[in-house]
């Protein structure tokens, strides 16, 4: 018996949502989708199953080991997508060749990672993301950061923190020491996993004392606003003109954040993200209720080139399942009234007449109708209506059907009134609200 019970549970880390839970998810997705549309991001769809070779290109070590991968019946190596940016980039490169730049696209999609399940960490979860292709300008970086902040606000989250870093600065320093891109990826992967000691060890093994010190200094700037430590940073980066140039972009972003997210952001120049495609600004969003990020993104200027077109890009994805755990998210209060529909005699004509009434009432705004299909006495039907918090019940029996009338009972005071079929639509709300 126990075994049977166990085998019908969902797999670890996979979720089932009740209507109440799903309502919150839907609210988050619909609110944020509306925002994307406002900023010109058109929604796209990409496959759930992708060739391993595509995703492996740039997904990074950390996620590479956590993918649901298998051979399909055609003996192809495939994966359940662990993220959406690579697939969306391919779609833009292949299918949107003639679109004027920049190309703005958004998506809502489920992702799969074999992460260790815990609060806010699942093996299947939903991203709501958006990507901006074609622009190298810092304006596009700022647009993406701005929308990410707006998305939180749109669903009621006012208390949050943005953590920013810059992989271009890190990569430019590593390049000065002639460290190739593949090795840079490995080193930044270490920073992503918080393996700072290993990172320094590897650099020191390479005899790179100069950049070793630069990294040590850079990491000390953590949690400081750039403004406060601007002079220090300029000093640290003095010997690296390319990194210094990137730092000028950071200053512009900070100038924007001082206005948009004053007191809610910090830069950490020892911060790297697990995905390998980032080439510039990177950032993550946090809410106080959770220790893990509710969203992450950044600039990735070389991914599209790998897929066939040289398009710079910047984007961001929010983890819907994590947002659902934030107590700050308040779904819009339900304005609609719940009304039950009770059929007294279930004969062919009365049933048909009931559905005609329901069809008419569907046109009344803010009215939700639930037909009682459970049978039993009128008393038990009313009891059920009360349990479901219905405000009124529409009662239809043989008598109502033959006279083309409808009885409505207000549940708060038990008052009942009869309406003609024609007048019902106009008068029902007024009666319920009396
Ligand atoms: P990511 O940071 O790996 O970025 O994922 C984005 C968000 O998905 C995370 O901040 C988190 O909220 C959520 N998430 C990640 N893993 C899990 C999990 N196991 N359970 C629940 N939620 C999770 C990306 O995937 C990039 N594609 C974002 C991006 C878009 N970069 C540029 N454009």
pLDDT tens digits, 158-207: 999 999 999 999 999 999 888 998 899 999 999 988 898 999 888 888 77
Query: pLDDT above 70 covers what percent of the chain?
Result: 96
């929010």: which residue's tokens?
Answer: 318
- The token duo for 202 is 């590897």
Could you say which architecture CATH assigns to the domain 339-433? 3-Layer(aba) Sandwich (3.40)
pLDDT of residue 428: 96
Residue of 11, 83, 88 with the most ligand 1 atoms within 8 Å of its CB, for mutation: 83
pLDDT of residue 5: 61
pLDDT of residue 224: 57
Q: Residue 106's closest CA among 395, 316, 256, 263? A: 316
- The token duo for 425 is 């639509």
pLDDT band at residue 223 under the 50/70/90 scheme: low
């839970």: which residue's tokens?
Answer: 21
Contact 122/82 with Cβ under 8 angstroms?
A: no
What is the pTM for the complete model shown?
0.90
pLDDT band at residue 2 under the 50/70/90 scheme: low
Task: Specify the residue with its C-alpha closest to ligand 1, atom 13.
Answer: 319
The answer to whether the CB of 297 is under 6 A from ligand 1 is: yes
Name the most confidently modeled range: 11-25, 213-227, 323-337: 11-25
The answer to whether the CB of 63 is under 6 A from ligand 1 is: no
Ligand 1 centre distance from Cα of residue 313 (Å): 17
β-pairing, 161-166 vs 337-343, is unpaired
Which ligand 1 atom is the nearest neighbour of the CA of 129? 30
Which ligand 1 atom is the nearest neighbour of the CA of 85? 27
pLDDT of residue 206: 79
148: left (phi over 0), alpha (psi -120 to 50) or beta: alpha
The answer to whether the CB of 102 is under 6 A from ligand 1 is: no
Where along the chain do its domains lie? 16-323, 339-433
Instruction: Give the model confidence (pLDDT) of 260-298 as tens digits.
Output: 999 999 999 989 998 999 999 999 999 999 999 999 999
As a whole number, mean pLDDT of residues 33-45 equals 97
Ligand 1 centre distance from Cα of residue 130 (Å): 12
pLDDT of residue 144: 98
pLDDT band at residue 221 under the 50/70/90 scheme: confident
pLDDT band at residue 379 under the 50/70/90 scheme: very high
Instruction: Give the model confidence (pLDDT) of 387-432 as tens digits.
Output: 999 999 999 999 999 999 999 999 999 999 999 999 999 999 999 9
- What is the maximum span of the chain, computed from C-alpha positions, in angstroms? 96
pLDDT of residue 412: 95
Ligand 1 centre distance from Cα of residue 317 (Å): 6
3-state secondary structure 140-201: HHHHHHHHHHHHHHHCCCCCCEEEEEEHHHHHHHHHHCCCCHHHHHHHHHHHHCCCHHHHHH
As a whole number, mean pLDDT of residues 214-238 equals 78
pLDDT of residue 47: 98
Which ligand 1 atom is the nearest neighbour of the CA of 121? 20
Residue of 125, 287, 289 with the most ligand 1 atoms within 8 Å of its CB, for mutation: 125
Ligand 1 centre distance from Cα of residue 172 (Å): 25
How far apart are alpha carbons 7 and 393 in whole angstroms? 42
Q: Which residues of 254-278 are buried (b: 16+ CB within 10 A; e: fewer)?
A: bebbeeebeebbbbbbbbbbbbbbb
Could you say which architecture CATH assigns to the domain 16-323? 2-Layer Sandwich (3.30)
How far apart are alpha carbons 163 and 146 in whole angstroms? 14
How far apart are alpha carbons 422 and 407 in whole angstroms? 13
């Amino acid at each position: 018996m126990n075994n049977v019970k166990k085998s019908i549970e969902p797999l670890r880390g996979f979720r089932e949502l009740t209507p109440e839970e799903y309502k919150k998810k839907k609210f988050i997705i619909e609110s944020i989708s509306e925002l994307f549309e406002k900023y010109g991001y058109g929604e796209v769809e990409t496959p759930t199953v992708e060739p391993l070779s595509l995703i492996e290109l740039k997904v990074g070590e950390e996620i590479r080991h956590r993918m649901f991968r298998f051979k399909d019946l055609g003996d192809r190596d495939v994966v359940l997508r662990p993220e959406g940016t690579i697939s969306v980039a391919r779609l833009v490169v292949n299918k949107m060749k003639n679109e004027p730049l920049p190309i703005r696209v958004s998506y809502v999609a489920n992702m799969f990672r074999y992460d260790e399940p815990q609060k806010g960490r699942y093996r299947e979860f939903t991203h709501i993301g958006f990507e901006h292709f074609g622009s190298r300008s810092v304006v596009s970086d700022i647009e993406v950061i701005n929308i990410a902040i707006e998305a939180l606000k749109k669903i009621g989250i006012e208390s949050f923190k943005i953590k920013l870093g810059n992989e271009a600065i890190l990569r430019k320093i590593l390049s000065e020491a002639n460290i190739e891109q593949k090795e840079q990826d490995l080193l930044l992967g270490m920073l992503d996993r918080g393996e700072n000691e290993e990172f320094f060890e590897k650099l020191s093994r390479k005899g790179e004392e100069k950049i070793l010190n630069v990294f040590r200094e850079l990491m000390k700037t953590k949690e400081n606003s750039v403004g406060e430590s601007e002079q220090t940073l300029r000093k640290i980066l003095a010997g690296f003109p390319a990194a210094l140039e990137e730092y000028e972009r950071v200053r512009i972003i900070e100038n924007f954040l001082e206005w948009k997210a004053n007191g809610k952001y910090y830069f950490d120049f020892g911060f790297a993200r697990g995905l390998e495609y980032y080439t510039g600004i990177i950032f993550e969003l946090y809410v106080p209720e959770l220790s893990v990020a509710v969203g992450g993104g950044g600039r990735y200027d070389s991914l599209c080139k790998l897929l066939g077109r040289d398009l710079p890009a910047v984007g961001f994805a929010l983890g819907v399942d994590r947002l659902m755990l934030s107590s700050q998210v308040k779904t819009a209060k339900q304005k609609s009234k719940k009304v039950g529909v009770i059929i007294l005699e279930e004969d062919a004509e009365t049933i048909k007449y009931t559905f005609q009434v329901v069809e008419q009432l569907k046109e009344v705004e803010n009215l939700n109708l639930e037909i009682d299909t459970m049978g039993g006495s009128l008393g038990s039907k009313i009891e059920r209506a009360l349990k479901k918090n219905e405000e009124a019940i529409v009662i239809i029996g043989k008598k109502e059907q033959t006279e083309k009338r409808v009885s409505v009972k207000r549940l708060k005071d038990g008052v009942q009134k009869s309406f003609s079929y024609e007048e019902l639509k106009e008068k029902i709300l007024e009666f319920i609200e009396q």
